[in-house]
Structure 1
């Protein structure tokens, strides 16, 4: 179809288009990212999911080392998924945000007796497997049995899986029957057994991919469960301490006590935010992974196999309660954070009211002192007028006596007495004017 499209394009004049957005083709190719492998029974698959963290290329370099060993072309530097053929086995590698997956495929007849007796991983170099970067979180061995294989009775499935507790369902519209134990065997793998009925290669690839992703995302979602259990005790302790602080708030009235409680609430808030910062990513990721598990199970289009629990029932009984615990702890954390915030606001309001009361009392005291100072100032001004008048009138008296001694007929006592009101009025007016000038200058500033 692409060749025909290209031929048609070559035969017609290409229309002129505006300049492309630099991400246009990458975004378009994202729809076709992570294609399913084409599988035909009999087939065996070994799946490994390793936590590698973000921002690392160690897994890519490790994959390039395997390609170099087998003389296979390595994936492009920006590729996050690739399907490689190494002859004896095929490998599908995918890079995700915090983990990467390796799925090894091995064709050929299944071993007689135990179909899990030989896995695809047996063909992979042991030294390369031992040096894989990251921490192994999920591992699964899958067997896709052909439709022409001898029929196995359902009571033989526990012997094949090595466990009597497993999920079973007809999947892909009845095109296959899948069995999965969700348990780790002695080799460190969970087992998935699929009996082909009329699967097509692409349909088989989708089914195998979904079954493996159910196990991977189930384990990734459960990473939050230990965190929820450990932090639940811390939240209980912080909640009890907050209740004690809230109760104490109703019993105290001194400003120093309220400030002490405010410091305790600040410490409590810091501890709560620390827990939130440590758990927010894990809880959010768990919610996303749980949704993916549910989505993959829906895509199986499972139908009940009488006498056995379906994948949905298995997940609802075991995974869903753990996820609800995580959600409950997350809700408790959010509630505690809001309670701490409200208690802090309430206590700050009380402290502010206390401080405002103290400031009001201080301003009232300052006002009383200012009025007293004004009265003292007026008293001092009156005494100043009297003192200046006294000395000024004395000078007038001395001047009158001097004029009388030189022959001027001047009544000294009358002149001195008449000078008193004149001098006093002049001094009082001068002091008042100076005072008004100072007040006007201060008001201007």
Structure 2
């Protein structure tokens, strides 16, 4: 509920918005420290299952678990400390334990102290797994051969980070133990700063992997776009040789099919490409926050990503741009085809109107002919009736010449009939 301070009404979300800035605090780390970091893809509706599983672990160790609306949780379980974070489509679990790193920094990971049955039941699919170690500057320095042995690959990055306060090496690889390896040498880090540094490093790998989820989708979509592009080129070439309206309708149906296929590709890729762009931006930002400088003989983290991640992201962006270009081309082709169909329909309508006009003229001439015949017929029958009347009057003693009367009646009856027919035609025309 809003509260009043000095008579001012708080916005209902003021407290939540302020708390959001402090919702994901960094862990405080002091060398020597071991870490294990997991990132699991759970989808957009996996938060409740994550919290339920966390509560089960807390109940086992008699600790309070996360609340139903929490997306961040930290607790000390004794044998290990745990930090859980919920993101849009994945969750991360980072386990900490302060102990000597030893000669092999990855031989005894923190996950050994976590109940295995609980680990096996974590919801989601594992995307990222990292074993990390934070060692003090007092430990003997490791030469290149030792580092290559620990990372299991000659292709790993290393740099002086945190403005010279630490050195870091990371392989971005899945080693024989199923995890990537990260080693940080503390050269004067404060606990909070050490926590930020380790989190940035594991987030680089996490966001890198999440960004690359779009890469196989981009390759598959590229093949589909190739087919759509070929089909569209065939349609554009065929438009120059169209013979009749049926050909144009056939091409329009084919274009509609390509449009539907392109929309399916767009629906299948738009979210993933948008997410990849956001994840890639986070990777670049985390690398810039490292404030790294060159460590002789090793690629810097920024250089490693420029060579390995940037090309894949450019491929994804290229496919996204091709999708937009094809969508515009199909829209233009559809507009051209619809215009051609409309022109053909207008031509057909014009021919139909001309035909109807000719028929109307023929009907008018036929009507005039019928009217002439009608006047003649009416005149004939009218004069015949007058002849009967004249004969009757003559028989009654009236001296009336029948033939002369018939002759005079012919033009009179014909004229009256013509006048009546014309008046009827005008009345009908005025009523229509």
Q: TM-score w.r.t. structure 1 length?
A: 0.94
SS in 2 for 1:288: helix
CA distance in 2, matches of 1:375, 1:399: 36
Contact 1:161 1:193 in 2 (8 A): no
Aligned to 1:35: 25
- 1:140 and 2:130 aligned: yes
How far did 1:82 drift?
1.2
Q: Displaced runs of 4+ in structure 1, greater than 6 A?
A: none
Equivalent positions of 1:44-83 (< 5 A) are 44-56=34-46, 57-83=48-74
Equivalent positions of 1:362-401 (< 5 A) are 362-401=352-391
How far did 1:309 drift?
0.6
How far did 1:416 drift?
1.6
**Which segment drifts farther, 311-320 or 329-338?**
329-338
**Which segment drifts farther, 350-359 or 431-440?**
431-440
Aligned to 1:95: 86
SS in 1 for 2:53: helix
How far did 1:154 drift?
4.1
Of the three residues 180, 194, 208, the one matched with 2:184 is 194
Of the three residues 392, 403, 407, the one matched with 1:413 is 403
- Structure 1 pair 160–17 and aligned structure 2 pair: CA distance change class (3 A): farther
Unaligned runs of 5+ in 1: 1-13
SS in 2 for 1:170: strand
Equivalent positions of 1:10-21 (< 5 A) are 15-21=5-11
**Which segment drifts farther, 52-61 or 260-269?**
52-61
CA distance in 2, matches of 1:353, 1:67: 73
Equivalent positions of 1:97-112 (< 5 A) are 97-110=88-101, 112=102
SS in 2 for 1:173: helix
CA distance in 2, matches of 1:340, 1:115: 57
Aligned to 1:208: 198
Unaligned runs of 5+ in 2: none
Aligned to 1:254: 244
* RMSD (Å) for aligned C-alpha atoms: 1.2
How far did 1:83 drift?
0.9
Q: How many correspondences in the alignment? A: 428
How far did 1:15 drift?
4.6
**Which segment drifts farther, 25-34 or 214-223?**
25-34
Q: Deviations over 1:315-364 (max 9, x none)?
A: 00000001111111111111111111111111111111111111101101
CA distance in 2, matches of 1:334, 1:431: 70
CA distance in 2, matches of 1:150, 1:179: 16
How far did 1:127 drift?
0.5
Aligned to 2:119: 129
Aligned to 1:220: 210
Equivalent positions of 1:241-280 (< 5 A) are 241-280=231-270
**Which segment drifts farther, 306-315 or 23-32?**
23-32
Aligned to 2:318: 328
Aligned to 2:147: 157
CA distance in 2, matches of 1:156, 1:26: 49
How far did 1:76 drift?
1.2
CA distance in 1, matches of 2:302, 2:160: 12
CA distance in 1, matches of 2:172, 2:359: 84
How far did 1:152 drift?
2.6
SS in 2 for 1:397: helix
Of the three residues 327, 330, 337, the one matched with 1:340 is 330
- Structure 1 pair 145–274 and aligned structure 2 pair: CA distance change class (3 A): same
